[in-house]
A = this chain, B = another copy of it.
Amino acid sequence: MTTVLALETSDIRFPTSTSLDGSDAMNLDPDYSTAYVRIVTDAADGHEGHGFVFTIGRGNDVQVAAIQALSAHLVGRNVEDLLDNMGATWREFVWDSQLRWLGPEKGVMHMAIGAVVNALWDLKAKRAGLPLWQLLGRMTPEQIVELIDFRYLTDALTPDEALAILRAAVPGRAEREAQLLSDGYPAYTTTPGWLGYSDEKLVRLAKEAVADGFSMIKLKVGADLHDDIRRMRLARETVGPDIRIGTDANQRWGVDEAIEWMSHLAEFDVAWIEEPTSPDDILAHAAIARGVAPIPVATGEHMANRIMFKQFLQADALQIVQIDATRVGGVNENIAILLLAAKFGVPVCPHAGGVGLCEAVQHLSMFDFVAVSATSEGRVIEFVDHLHEHFVTPVVMRGGAYQAPTAPGAGTEMHAASRAQYAFGSADSAASMLASHV
C-alpha cells in the first residue's frame, strides 16, 4: 500500500509583463504564473504527481490557498484507492458540499480541484510508465465512461451515448497511436499576434511561423478597429492566401459590437473569431455566431465547466471548442467535454500558451484523436513559444506539429530549479521585484 505523504504547493510567477508577451485587449500586463501542486508519496519508486493552475499574476496566492485547502482530502490516503478509481476521486473533490459552495464548480475552488486531479493523473501515468495520452487512449470505453460525472449532462449526453462514441473509435486505435508517434498533432501559433508587438515584430514573427511549418497563426484584436484592420492586412500580405489567420477578442465586445467589428475584418479571410464576448454568455455567442457567419466562433478557455460547454453546443453558440488544461476540473472533466464535442460533431482546438498549458493539453488532443473523435480534421492545438524550458518534458515541435510525448506522465512537471528561482516572494524572483514597484 502506498500513502500520500504531502501535498506541497507553491506560488510561481514569471515577470512576463516586462516584455508584453501575452498582451491582449483585456489582459494588458500579465505576469504568467502557476499555482503549483506536488503530491509526494511513500512509494519506493520516487514518483511524484505534479499539476498546476495557470494564472496571470495577482491572485496566484489565492489559487495556492485553494489547492492547499484540498490537502485534507489527500494526505494520509491510500494512493492505489485514489488512482484506481479516478472517477470516484473526482466526485469526492467536486461534491465536497462545503467546498462546492465556493463555486459551485467554477472559479478558484474548481480550478484548484483541477490542479490536484491533474497531479494525480500525472502520478498515475508515471506509475504506469506511459505518457498520459497513451494511458488514457488504452483504457476501455467502460473505464473512460466511469471517469465522468454525468450529473447535469444527460439531457445532451448519456453514459450509453458516450460508450457508443468510444466503442466506435476502438478500431484503429493502434494505427492512430502510431500515426501520432510518427507525425505528431497539428498546431497553430499565436506568437506573432500579441497586441503589444510592433508591426515589424508582427511581420517578422508571422514569416517565422510560416517558415516553421505552421499552417495557421492568430492575431489578438478588439482594442482599436483601425489597428486591427492594418494588422490583419499586414499579416495576410505576409503569410499569403494559404495560411489560416484566426482572431481573438478576449471577451472585449457585446453582441452588436462583435458583429460590426468582424464585418470589417471578414475580407481578410478569418479562420475564426475567438472569445468575442463574456465566456458566460451562451445566448450572446449564439447571436454573434449567427451574425458573423460564415466566420466560426471559437471559445472555451474561460468556460467554467462541462455544463457551460454542453449549453454552448446545444445552442450552436460555438463552432470550435477550445478546452483548457487548467480551467475546469482537470482531465476527467475535459474528457467529458471531448465527448460532448464528439457528440455534437464540433472540432476541439485547445487553448494553450501561458505556462505549461501546451505541455498539458497536448495529451488531451492526442487522446481525443486515438480514442474519442478519431480524427484531427479541422483541429489544431494552440502553440506559443514561451517558458517551455522550465518543464522537465517540454513540448517538441516539428513542422508545425506537436510531436507525441513519450515520457511517462502528464507533462506537468516543472524543473525544481525553475520552481525555486521563480518562487514569488523569494529574494531573486523578478516577479516579486516587479510587484514591489506597484
CA distance A106 to B279 in the complex (A): 11
Q: Are B108 and A151 within 8 A (Cβ)? A: no
CA distance A108 to B109 in the complex (A): 7
CB of A28 within 8 Å of the partner chain? yes
Residues of the B chain whose Cβ atoms lie less than 8 Å from the Cβ of A282: 282-283, 311
* Cβ-neighbour of A98 out of B57, B106, B111, B314 (below 8 A): B57
Q: Are A97 and B30 within 8 A (Cβ)? A: yes
Residues of the B chain whose Cβ atoms lie less than 8 Å from the Cβ of A112: 62
The number of residues on chain A lying at the interface, defined by a beta carbon within 8 Å of a beta carbon of chain B, is 63
Q: Are A304 and B62 within 8 A (Cβ)? A: no
CA distance A351 to B305 in the complex (A): 24
Chain A residues 91 to 120 lying within 8 A of chain B, measured CB to CB, are 96-112
CB of A251 within 8 Å of the partner chain? yes
* Cβ-neighbour of A56 out of B61, B97, B308 (below 8 A): B97
Residues of the B chain whose Cβ atoms lie less than 8 Å from the Cβ of A153: 254
The interface centre, meaning the residue of A98, A110, A255, A310 with most chain B CB atoms within 10 A of its CB, is: A98
The binding surface of chain A is classed by DSSP as loop
Q: Are B302 and A278 within 8 A (Cβ)? A: no
CA distance A12 to B159 in the complex (A): 42
CB of A65 within 8 Å of the partner chain? yes
| Contact mask for chain A residues 302-319; partner B; CB cutoff 8 A; 1 contact, 0 none | 101101101100110000
Given contacts A152-B277, A308-B280, contact A59 B102 (CB under 8 A): yes
CB of A181 within 8 Å of the partner chain? no
CA distance A397 to B417 in the complex (A): 61
* Cβ-neighbour of A304 out of B28, B98, B99, B280 (below 8 A): B280
| Contact mask for chain A residues 267-280; partner B; CB cutoff 8 A; 1 contact, 0 none | 00000000001111
Residues of the B chain whose Cβ atoms lie less than 8 Å from the Cβ of A65: 61-62, 65-66
CB of A373 within 8 Å of the partner chain? no
CB of A433 within 8 Å of the partner chain? no
Residues of the B chain whose Cβ atoms lie less than 8 Å from the Cβ of A277: 152
CB of A427 within 8 Å of the partner chain? no
* Cβ-neighbour of A102 out of B55, B154, B283 (below 8 A): B55
CA distance A31 to B98 in the complex (A): 8
CB of A223 within 8 Å of the partner chain? no
CA distance A30 to B107 in the complex (A): 21
CA distance A28 to B155 in the complex (A): 26
Q: Are A283 and B97 within 8 A (Cβ)? A: no
| Contact mask for chain A residues 60-104; partner B; CB cutoff 8 A; 1 contact, 0 none | 011101100100100000000000000000000000111111111
CB of A170 within 8 Å of the partner chain? no
CA distance A62 to B27 in the complex (A): 24
CA distance A53 to B98 in the complex (A): 14
Q: Are A152 and B281 within 8 A (Cβ)? A: yes
22 of the cross-chain contacts (CB-CB < 8 Å) are: A27-B97, A30-B101, A55-B101, A56-B97, A59-B66, A59-B99, A59-B101, A62-B66, A62-B108, A65-B66, A103-B106, A105-B278, A106-B107, A106-B280, A106-B304, A108-B108, A151-B254, A152-B278, A154-B256, A155-B284, A283-B314, A304-B304
A sample of 6 more A-B contacts (CB under 8 A), given A30-B101, A106-B107, A283-B314, is: A58-B98, A62-B62, A151-B254, A152-B284, A154-B256, A280-B307
A residues apposed to B, CB below 8 Å: 26-31, 55-59, 61-63, 65-66, 69, 72, 96-112, 151-155, 251, 254-256, 277-284, 287, 302, 304-305, 307-308, 310-311, 314-315, 438
